[in-house]
Structure 1
């Protein structure tokens, strides 16, 4: 017997409405029927942007669980996410940021059934950063789609930013998940069944967001647990500063190649397993 479809849990910030539309349609295509979404908007976001997103999600037949405004402290997302999980109740929860499009090696119902059968209470994913062919941080046209605008996928998050690329993509309702959905303390995903998390973060507007993040965390306007998020933002800004405002897609460290939301990347299980099982937190030496 196949499991009940998971409830999708997401805290959504000020993204462009077409991305929200594509994101909802992607997860509906995977089989998700229940969306629990909370919006959080930092103070700089104009009212019209908030209203556009709230209208867009309602047009998709989803009633947002709540909307909050104010500083985006490092704990804000976690608190809102956990409130949504509590509201979702028993069963499996699918955890995804609004720029994350998960891709599974089997239908979602089969992935969950396999996890239940093997006794795993979480399913893991690995970020696959998507960028434009030119490396430019560009916008995209909804009629062309995300695959056309950002055809390359690679490992930018951990090989340049030294961030944790591991994700908990599915978790039983009673499994606690750490900040950023990176870990579930006490639970290990099956490293042979890691999903690809296509990460469409590197779009137009991201550099302004990163500058704002550094400024607010540095001044204490937004509270942080550690400087890690700020440091990651600084590494990306330094990289594009050294490469004429673009991501250097030819750097072999990042392993950029053409990928698609319609088929798993070639060799993904072994590639994902290697990274997922060997990744270590970055030991800062003062030299990047």
Structure 2
């Protein structure tokens, strides 16, 4: 018989421990273990005081550590390995986190076991005082003291608000319990836990300063997150600026069932909440297709299970993170049907979407259910991809997309720069360039992304749509000064190399991407590339991609990701210093990339991730467009748009006119609609 176990990290500030233990005791938790961090300077009696509080709720100390800083997930694993069985269920909660479940824990666990789900996700909801101040903690209920919901962690701190709150004990957790690379999670569309975060009282500034100082001493990268909050409080007289619309919460509270357990969180817990959010579609929110093939959110008062609704639900769920079997399971839950009864309807619905040119099967012809890539759930698998170990992925774009169809990468938690460079002085900045920027905005997590457009020349790019993006704060435009960016690199002071240009932007374009990524880190994207999906699963490692299937040793830099100060980039810049420049060649590009990778490893992903048609240029994988010349013209190959590729490279067809229903036109329209929906539903647009 499986147990419900709670593990709580406890440290120097344990004022909320009694309330936290009471809260979870009422939820039906059977065993509670305290994971104690006890530095000697915090007092020799710290462990005894925590243990005394724990005894009142039958909570025991499972582990004590004294180091400057230790990831709680590591010491929690020590506790679970000693006290828990693989099939026990574990609640992960900090002492200031109070989880609100939509049903009793036993019912939720029964639902997960019935559907073979291994963990449940939650979203962090920061709770603050009604005026944004930091009051002293008193004996009143926490919801009464902190009635307002605000996005402090997500917007100000730039932290990750996704949490894994409940899982089987055998599922390993990543940093901060924000992600796991194992198991199968319950779909957030049907089960999501709200995590109320009661941290923002009068002691918060001192605690933040102490944590930042401690993390700085061991060079932990997220120490800066604490400084962002301190800076915000400093600018606003020690308060959170609740007049800022960005702090508004854009997901509704969890709806509690009649048989929910009693809770320390009363009905007054809701503060500033907006419910019209696409982030958390209710069961009766479905996506309908009207006569003009446009999409709108419709709300139904009862459950329905017609083919059209199934097709619409599949469309909303086809995000590259679900297999067909998981779609079937999700739909069965939506419509209270057995899995077997839904299975055929799902494939019929997929067929209908394909027939309407709204969804496209794999170019290899394989049905998604037949794909065999299971290890792709681990980000580490993508990191380790190599032509020597998986040559089939570099030869067959269908197999490559079979992998991508099932990628479930973790959500990257750090701020990421997306760099674009415009230097084509003989081509005006127009709608195609806007499409490139729009694609990035539509697909990336803007809370954690900075979109930067760099330019060289006397004047910045001009376009009405670009002006709007700049005014609304979505895009930053920066002047490219290679001499400044080269400071501290092997090219510092070498103006002959730094200021060199050629007619096709080969030399200076190749130099730009190395300099800007070495200095600032992030992702570089060519201006003739449309991003098609969230890069989060790829952001934990450095990469470029292969140049076709016949020459996997050649490396393409149209899309690349590197960290600031990268050793590989440093060596590439040194190679430029020692290489004779050849105008309109790849001497500062693919030639250098290959030489450096032989000595300083970085991942070279298959071309199918970013350039699906490349094999067609080589006379393989027919069915996609055969030549870049067809990208702007309407033809049957235009319909082959597979949504699980990360990007689409349209190879500098700047002067070619875009025809209606061409591949470029279809993708641009899809991404533009997605960006418009994102602004409308996620609150990114501001009232003009």
- Does structure 2 conserve the Cα–Cα contact (< 8 Å) formed by 1:152 and 1:256? no
Name 1:88's counterpart in structure 2. 84
Deviation at 1:272, TM superposition (A): 5.3
Q: Flag the 1:246–1:169 CA change in 2: closer, same or farther, 3 A.
A: same
- Does structure 1 conserve the Cα–Cα contact (< 8 Å) formed by 2:143 and 2:266? no
Q: How many residues align?
A: 275
Name 2:228's counterpart in structure 1. 235
Tell me whether 1:44 sits opposite 2:41 in the alignment: yes
Indicate the SS of the match to 1:47. Answer: coil
Deviation at 1:52, TM superposition (A): 2.5
Q: Flag the 1:273–1:153 CA change in 2: closer, same or farther, 3 A.
A: same
Matches within 5 A, 1:1-288: 4-17=2-15, 19-73=16-70, 75=71, 77-86=72-81, 87-90=83-86, 91-142=88-139, 144-186=140-182, 187-192=184-189, 193-220=191-218, 224=220, 227=221, 229-255=222-248, 261-263=265-267, 273=280, 281=413, 282-284=415-417
Deviation at 1:50, TM superposition (A): 4.2
Q: Root-mean-square deviation (CA), in Å?
A: 3.0
The whole-number CA distance in structure 2 between the counterparts of 1:92 and 1:173 is 6
Q: Flag the 1:125–1:272 CA change in 2: closer, same or farther, 3 A.
A: farther
Indicate the SS of the match to 2:59. Answer: coil
Q: Flag the 1:109–1:272 CA change in 2: closer, same or farther, 3 A.
A: farther
Deviation at 1:249, TM superposition (A): 2.0
The whole-number CA distance in structure 1 between the counterparts of 2:41 and 2:204 is 14
Q: Which runs of 5+ in 1 are unaligned?
A: none
The whole-number CA distance in structure 2 between the counterparts of 1:145 and 1:95 is 22
Q: Deviations over 1:77-130 (max 9, x none)?
A: 122111112122231111111111000111111111111122211100000001
Q: Which runs of 5+ in 2 are unaligned?
A: 254-263, 282-318, 320-409, 418-449, 453-472, 474-688
- Does structure 2 conserve the Cα–Cα contact (< 8 Å) formed by 1:96 and 1:169? yes
TM norm structure 1: 0.84
Deviation at 1:60, TM superposition (A): 2.8
Indicate the SS of the match to 1:63. Answer: strand
Whose RCO is larger (CA < 8 A, sep 6+)? 1
Q: Deviations over 1:29-53 (max 9, x none)?
A: 1111211212112343123444332
- Does structure 2 conserve the Cα–Cα contact (< 8 Å) formed by 1:137 and 1:246? yes
- Deviates further, 204-213 or 167-176: 204-213
Indicate the SS of the match to 1:123. Answer: strand
Q: Deviations over 1:181-226 (max 9, x none)?
A: 1001144441111100001122232211221222222232xx53xx
Q: Flag the 1:248–1:49 CA change in 2: closer, same or farther, 3 A.
A: farther
Q: Deviations over 1:66-85 (max 9, x none)?
A: 33323124x3x122111112
Q: Flag the 1:271–1:24 CA change in 2: closer, same or farther, 3 A.
A: farther
- Does structure 2 conserve the Cα–Cα contact (< 8 Å) formed by 1:240 and 1:247? yes
Q: Flag the 1:38–1:219 CA change in 2: closer, same or farther, 3 A.
A: closer
Larger Rg: 2
Indicate the SS of the match to 1:65. Answer: strand
- Does structure 1 conserve the Cα–Cα contact (< 8 Å) formed by 2:100 and 2:193? yes
TM norm structure 2: 0.37
- Does structure 2 conserve the Cα–Cα contact (< 8 Å) formed by 1:42 and 1:72? no
